[in-house]
Amino acid sequence: MTFSKLQKIVLASGNAGKIKEIQAILTGHPIVPQSLFNVAEADETGTTFVENAIIKARNAALHCNLPAIADDSGLVVDALNGELGVYSARYAGMGASDSDNVQKLLQALEGVPETQRTARFICVMVFMEHADDPLPIIAQGSWEGRILTQPVGSNGFGYDPVFFVPDYQCASAELSPELKNSLSHRGIALKKLAEAIKARELL
């Protein structure tokens, strides 16, 4: 099954920052957030990024009757045995703000030396042609860094203010949106996803 480049693709997210990043990379394709269709966000009951991304893509495709893209991403901190993982967005509890999550992370790492504060952002992106797509396209990206002891910068969202990027000697929140998109876990995963979609002549 193929579809027109003019056909809309629904993005299974209501996160404004995430939508902006994805639209910046998938230029030329009509990407619309599921909120335009009044679709409730799916319950992320999976224990892995892949499971949750598929759950969200299937939910969006089902309720919007459109092809769907979804991602599940999070921060993996070595000193915390791989936390925060799939719970990154709700690390400080359901409904927690970005600031709440960041402060809880900093408290959890209090006293941990710089050399042991290594971490990485992980993103898994999924494209489904329809809700019953038996072969969703799955792409993954990762971004290595470490956790700072206090937030800096005003760009980005989530844990960007405390995620130090060694190659640029600054926090992710200090990078321009364009540079961040070229480096980030989401940017890497999305580029891989776009290439795989085009290879199957779906876009």
How far separated are the first and last CA of the chain, in Å rounded? 11
Bridge-based pairing of strands 68-77 and 118-128 is antiparallel
Which of 72, 78, 100, 132 is labelled catalytic?
72
Q: Are 164 and 115 in contact (CB under 8 A)?
A: no
Question: The tokens 């299974």 sit on which residue?
Answer: 12
Bridge-based pairing of strands 9-11 and 31-33 is parallel
Catalytic (active site) residue 100 = no
**Residue 114's CB: how many other CB atoms inside 10 A?**
11
Who's near 9: CB < 8 A, 6+ residues apart?
29, 30, 31, 32, 66, 67, 68, 69
**Angstrom distance (rounded) from CA 29 to CA 196:** 15
Query: Which residues carry out catalysis?
Result: 72
